[in-house]
Structure 1
Amino acid sequence: MKVLLVEDDPSISECFATTLTAHRYTVDIAADGQLGFDLALQGEYDIILLDVILPKLNGLTVCQQLRQQECQTPILMLTAKDTNEDVIAGLNAGADDYITKPCDAEHLLARVRALLRRQGSTTFVPILTWGDLHLDPTLIQVTYRQQIVVLSPKEYSLLELLLRYPQRIFSRSSIINHLWSIDDSPTDAAVTNLIKDLRRKLKSAGMQEELIETVYRLGYRLRTPPKKEIQAKVDTREHEQQVLLEQVTQNFRASLQQRIDVLEAAVRSPVDRLSPLQYQQIQAEAHRLAGGLGTFGYTKGSDLARAIEHLLIAGDWEANRQREFSQLLTQLKQEIANPPIAALATATPLILAIADDDSLIQQLQQTAPHRGWRVEFIYNRADVLSRIEDVPHVIFMSLHYAVPDRGLMLLQELKMQFPTVPIVILTTQDSLDSRVAVARLGVSRYIVQPVTTNEIFDAIAQVSPQTSPTDAKVLIVDDDPFALQTLTTLLQPWGLQITVLSQPEHFWQVLTSTVPDVLLLDLEMPTYNGLELCRVVRQDANYSDIPILVVTAHTDITSIQQVFAAGADDFIAKPIAGPELVTRTLARIERSRIQRQLLQYQQQGQTHQKATIDTLTQAANRPYFEEFLYREWQRLARAQAPISMILYDIDHFKAYNDMHGYPAGDACLQQVTQIVRNCIRLDRDLIARCGGDEFAIVLAETSLEQALQVAQRIQSAIAQGQIPHHAHQYITISLGISGTIPQNNTFPQNLIAIATQALYAAKARGRNTYCLYPL
């Protein structure tokens, strides 16, 4: 676990850091608020300990700005200010907890542990396990089969990191960021050695299973635990969810008679004698009953209840309408006496497998539960589409014949019916024609035999919608409490933060306060329906990109067209199937996050380009030149390869500006820069504007002799360009050249200084020439 400690008192920061480090926390220290703010945004910290009175930026300002930047890291305020007003100010600024100084070490550690448990309730567990291996964060102790395993602090921290995030791949740089403080400078080799040492100690303790998996070119992750433990977790989760769903269903069925009694009041008493409040209650009950029956699989009953609702809305109660109401109610009571057509299903992700290889099918069936999947097999490709009952998370198809033959037609039909479902195919054909043919149809993964079962499931996991717990926020709006409870039960096991709203009139207030990652809207609601709420969201620039899923029992073409016309991204039909609900919800969340990340990268790229490019000449600016030179100097020092530099400026440029004006001078700089660009290798070399008409060229892996040739080429190109100067006929430049093989005990500033001396020497010789000084 990594801690950022923002404290300006060296004695206090040293004391806290020593305490935390002794308990296996990695600590970064910032001595002022501005540095603390920057580190908090850039680093991956599990908790921030923040003093209030700090130089540059005080702690309250840092806390407020971090929350404005959507930093979700837990913040524990540390301060000697202990009045109620101070505590309230800290919590209002966004802090999660507040502790006053002085405080003893045990008190601090207890607060830190409590805050981590509270903030990470979906991922934090008291004891982390992997098979027979146990890590107790409270005791800072690792045991294997009840025997203590002695680990170094870094080995312990690495093991804890992998156990806390079992699905995540950690690159070497990411491991360095988590385990070493910012003052340390470990190399990638340090991570490799640490992995090796941890593996060795676990093996010495008697652990035969390989805990750490090396992912080629990506990093390391926790290997899949022993099968029995995975199956136990899957079974437990499914059982708990099924129990909750059964309880919700029983509660709904138990409420049916009470709801029918409310509707029968309209039959026993003439409707025109009902008070406006009673009439409104009966109409609302019919509406909720229609939605609830649809949710729990009473499709025909939902239609009957909706017909009753429409009668009540019409309000024209002649004798024939009264008879129609009574007939509908009788049919409704008969319908709900029968079991529902479809029951709610748990949300274990489904793979639809189309295969005819008995050996492969058996292997997939054995492995699927241990990887958290359920598999439905279809052997006869001729009736695939008619056999599919649930919307799968992933379609897996094994092809033992040429892909451009019969398989293409089936793939095309599958993509038409399930456009958002990823498809993975396994085939013996490894030709470009086959790959292009299936790529055109949108196949997500192309696997060529031979391949292991685990590799197949790895490919499926890579393309499937996110099924691991997430901290995304979901807002569900439905006036039926049973529908809200059902949707919550289905989605909550996936780590989603659920907010429910049964009163649509409060929608905007709840939306703006929660800012969800996805919206689930019921189509028909009193006051404001789902289409109206959908349009309201799409009209506001701050929330218009939130994914919206409309939940409805209306699946006719007109209703679906209205749903998409209002701006919804997708719809979920009632009765609700758990896997379909989870798949569609998580897929929309993931797609929205990817879109936001792409937009952020584009904005960052534009900002970075503006920060590194001289806007006039489009050459690099001086700060980027210095950064590039330092980076190349370090790289070439390790490789013991040469680096050269050319500094140049335009001769008599002041006179040119005085004669032609500054706009013409700017155009001259642009023209000369473009000529120089054409004389160097832009994929390896760098041209930068250092100020005015002074420019620098960094030539990586270039000897002095080669740099001289570049300078001669540039000077010749400038002469051929014949840019008029009038006072001196044509524009010319002076160049200073230097170069060396960098050493670890030398600095790039020396290269700049010698190249500058060479440039001055060229000017002293009458300009329009070059001078070469080796370093």
Structure 2
Amino acid sequence: MKILLVEDDPSISKALATTLTAHRYTVDTALDGQIALELALQGEHDIIVLDIVLPKLDGLSVCQQLRQQGCQTPILILTAKDANEDIITGLNAGADDYLTKPCDLAHFLARVRALLRRQGNPTVSPILTWGELCLDPILIQVTYLQQVIVLSPKEYSLLELLLRHPQRIFSRSSIINHLWSIDDSPTDAAVTNLIKDLRRKLKSAGMQEELIETVYRLGYRLRTAPKKEVEQVKVEDCQKENLASIGQVVWDFRASLEKRIDILEEAARSPVYSLSSFQHQQVQEEAHRLAGGLGTFGYAKGSDLARAIEYLFIEGDWEEDRQQQFTQLLTELKQEIAKPPTVLLPTLKPLILAIANDTLIAELQQAAPHRGWQVEVVCDRSDVLHRNGNTPSVIFMSINHAVPDCGLMLLQELKIQFPTTPILILTTQDSLDSRVTVARLGVSRYVVQPATTDEIFDAIAQVLPQTTLTDAKVMIVDDDPIALQALATVLQPWGLQITTLNQPKHFWQIFTTTVPDVLLLDLEMPTFNGLELCRVVRQDVYYSDLPILVVTAQIDSVSIQNVFAAGADDFIAKPIIGPELVTRTLAHIERSRIQRQLLQYQKEHLQTRQLQATIDSLTQAANRHYFDEFLHREWQRLADAQAPLSLISYDIDYFKSYNDLYGYPAGDNCLQQVTRVVWDCIKPGRDLVARLGGDEFVIVLPETSLEQALQVAQRIQQAIAQLQIPHPSGTHQYITLSLGISGTIPQLNISPQELIAIATQALYAAKARSRNTYCLYPL
């Protein structure tokens, strides 16, 4: 993966570039905005890390010009400008993410990886696999059959490039652009040797399959991964089990119809006004359940008839014409349910609707079951537009010449009939005009012949809805047990933990025990309806952001308005179409998880910024501001408790000459090492080390007497001596410290600044005594 790093501070640029290179990224660097703009437009970069304050052209202008010229490369702004207005301006300029300095390098790398993942499919696992070969970008490790393969940085980067873009053919020049920085100038032979070395190491690790395919006169690409027969058997067994579950649901629904119709027929045999209130309520409830259940299983007209009967009993104003209307509706309902059901549950194998009449279709149909798919073939326009059955997951259209007018018309009709279904076309022509024409019609993939079956299936896989299983929890509330069983059967194959409830009066107890990730509510239910339950959830602070989907057959504008007014996030109309239910449910789960992650990140970011405001970024000791607050707080506390407090002021002997001899980076490293040693010599939960500036530090020792503070100073001197940091320009061979110790029992009429002054005097006295010693002055 190749990164363009734009930073005008050479030390920061070197540190970031070194870190990225160590994690197998190829890095191009730019020190001003003008060069950055030229490199970004000319090179192939996977991500751009961009400072704002730059010479010649500022980072915001670079970002804006890149977006105006169509550059879609993800941009991470890395800057010291941390005001809210700056962040908003940066994101509005076209940046994808914004990170403020100083930042933790692990945090920076995590942001880079997140942006790189966002380029592809966000649901894909960060671990890249090909058969038994695994590449872990986080561990920077490649394994085959769980055995580590040692690769050079370039070999690793090449393997990652191919695994991340399995369908793309990379020419030698493209590989050079991805793997070498712009300052390098390798030849095509370097790529050939790199390919040869990678193949040799993979073969030495035991891989018999050839991973890299040479495409004549074009370049290299990843071969199709070998299938795992055992896994395929498990998938087929799972599909059979799920199909059996759906069949059981259909059977249970058919078995329940007779009892429900008997209740309605019994009511129809006598005048409705003579029914008891219990019978009246019973008929109303059974009609309501029938409306939902019939809709779920494809009896759209039957659902409308049952709903009409329910409304008759809700209105309750019975006259002779109403009795006749009830009888007529019941007769029509019985005729409707005598027909076989059209089950609208999802096909467990993704359905590919293929519009073609060539020999390639037979090969697709034969290979589809091995991928867990099914192919339905239609040969002409009328068969497509008048077909019945499940909504296809993908439409595949084969055109043996440039897209004709009749083909364009069919594409337009397909987008109207299947607005959310991806369309893939296969054609012999590869022209810009044809590509633009079909792109305007919303075609998802354009495949040019000749293409193999695997290539077509790989293109289809890219546009298929992702079926990644999830461990999310879903709670479904519906007073109809059959409807509950149907909804649960639709969602369970997707790895969801399903909780069902058909008694709304127990809702809150089950809900707070389950704590679901998404809630599905029926609209009309006895005791408490779906709108009331939705409002109850929204009233609670803890659950106010929980995704709520209302499942209802009432899709009039007033009902829909009431659904959203109650706080629901979405509604699903009955009759239920399985793919729609699954897609919407998973989408709300994913959106909710992203929002929670964002809130968690914002919380952690706030905590980090609060922490950064109290610490010295170089040594991680407390800064002067926090030292003043801490000392004042402890002074007040210990004055009330009449307990001792001690201070130790120290600095590094001849530190200026150390910087002059070794340079400032070495000096910074020395400060860090000394500070870590000092922390190890005190009690971090009680004591405090603070940096007041340069090499001047102070240690606050609450509840510590002068005698105990002296022991601390002696421990520090011994530890520094054992550290043995060379310093030949001083009076000793290694780095040493001078320390000034003071202490007292705080008094409210005495300022803590007096204690600081005495400790400082003791430090100066120690420095006057040839250094590498300590002096103790009581307050």
Q: Which of structures 1 and 2 has the bigger CA Rg? A: 2
